[in-house]
Amino acid sequence: MRVLVIGGGAREHALVLAMSQDPAVTALACAPGNAGIHSLAEPLGLPDPNDGEQVAALARRWQADLVVIGPEVPLVAGVADAVRAAGIACFGPSEAAAAIEGSKAFAKDVMAAAGVLTARAEVVDNPGRLDAALARFGPMYVVKDDGLAAGKGVVVSPSCEEARAHAMTLLDAGHPVLLEEYLDGPEVSLFCLVDGQTVRPLLPAQDFKRVGDEDTGPNTGGMGAYAPLPWAAPDLAEQIVADVVAPVCAELDRRGTPFSGLLYAGLALTSAGAAVVEFNCRFGDPETQAVLALLRSPLAGLLHAVATGALASAPELEWAPGSAVTVVLAAEGYPGTPRVGDVIVGAEADGVLHAGTRRRDDGAVLSSGGRVLSVVGTGGDLAAARADAYERMAKIKLPGGHFRSDIGLRAADGKVTVPTG
């Protein structure tokens, strides 16, 4: 099987690494890739990864048997539709189904029709309605960009002034605002392989969105994650599939927009049950790096089964025992304007997955983005996996680079609890 991966972050590096170990894969390419991916997959030029015709033409020229689209922007733009129209199997939802991430208002409507528990929400597209809407929420305010924002369009604050300022910034930019009820409970990320109505869950994970230790500072695209969840019920994934993912997939199918690809449910485990915070239409970053580190099943075969509607006949997933932890190394200035162009020492060690990197002509690896790389540690339990990850991180040097020191710490110490009704 010839597999072409679209994207260039640590998520795509994790996907490429897993598929490079699949004996069914005879050729592997990535566009545009990064300095780490290029050691595993053939780099292909692609001027615009969000242009479906360009991606489809590249897949035809390279004679791909399967195209795997990593990021959300090309999926929401309909790139998967163009690839399938060219007669090539594609892992990723249609433009219509990808609206489950592209529009939070659309996702809320689908959940309401499917009877899925989620936070009370209201869309505001007029500044004149904002103050009255804010008065109906709080004292913990959740303000989101209704569209794609790379995980950074959200403010969660007890301050009405801060919430209003963020909402006005979005409205002034022409973006509708979603005001949402705050959900108090530990968050869970559950990735599900879906081909229409057949659903196969992966291991539950938890990610860390704030830039600083103890969840301080602004939201980011994600600063770390761990899997599985030692504090969760053993049947948590199956419960979420039954109560959340399967009903949503059935509703999308009823609307004539069946979902095919990776449906990512971000949830809060509240006293009333698992409530959806958001849906994403692709693998999440940084959770993917931890989850795939434990996957023993050949990944390319699974993704091809999804793309061809054969997931129901695929073998049951196999997992390595123990835990995995991902820690993200970010550039100075992130999540604001990152400093780029610095030499990274230790970037090519085992367990390092590249994101914002490029290679200089002399072979040195340089930083080129906000989240520069992810370090993945594994171990017999979460404490051991944390120790492995931070030992690896200590060997990497990036001027001004920063990372969180508490990824998975509260869970390893047994301090994560689920509210009960």
pLDDT in tens, 89-145: 999 999 999 999 999 889 999 999 999 999 888 889 888 889 888 989 878 888 988
Question: What residues contact residue 2 under an 8 Å CB cut-off, 6+ apart?
Answer: 25, 26, 27, 28, 29, 62, 63, 64, 65, 66
CA dist 394 and 392 (Å) reads: 5
Strands 2-7 and 66-69: parallel
Q: Is 61 exposed, middle or buried (0-12, 13-18, 19+ CB in 10 A)?
A: exposed
Q: What confidence score (pLDDT) does residue 151 get?
A: 56
- Span 120-180 CATH architecture: 2-Layer Sandwich (3.30)
Radius of gyration from C-alpha coordinates of the chain: 20
* Run of H or E including 332: none
Q: Which residues 6+ apart lie within 8 Å of 398 measured at CB?
A: 329, 331, 342, 344, 345, 367, 372
CA distance linking residue 72 with residue 403, whole number of Å: 24
Name the β-bridge partners of 69: 6
Sign of CA dihedral 147, 374, 327, 416: positive
Q: What is the pLDDT of residue 150?
A: 59
Q: Which CATH class is domain 2-92?
A: alpha beta
Q: Which of 37, 90, 46 is nearest to 64 (CA)?
A: 90
The reported pLDDT for the residue numbered 71 is: 97
User: Given this model, what pLDDT does residue 60 score?
Assistant: 98
Return the domain boundaries, the chain: 2-92, 120-180
Query: In Å, what is the CA distance from 87 to each residue of 31, 50, 195, 356?
Result: 19, 19, 17, 32
Q: What residues contact 112, with CB distance under 8 A and at least 6 apart?
A: none
Q: Helix, strand, coil shares of the chain as percentages rounded to 5?
A: 30, 30, 40
Task: Tell me how far CA of residue 192 lies from CA of 266, 318, 385, 390, in angstroms.
Answer: 11, 15, 24, 29
Angle (CA) 176 180 186, round 5°: 135
- The pLDDT tens digits of the residues spanning 242-293 come to 999 999 999 999 999 999 999 999 999 998 889 999 999 999 999 999 999 9
Residues of the chain with pLDDT under 50: none
Query: What integer pLDDT is reported at residue 149 of this predicted model?
Result: 59
Query: pTM of the prediction?
Result: 0.91
Please name which of 247, 297, 241, 240 lies closest in space to residue 268, comparing C-alpha atoms: 240
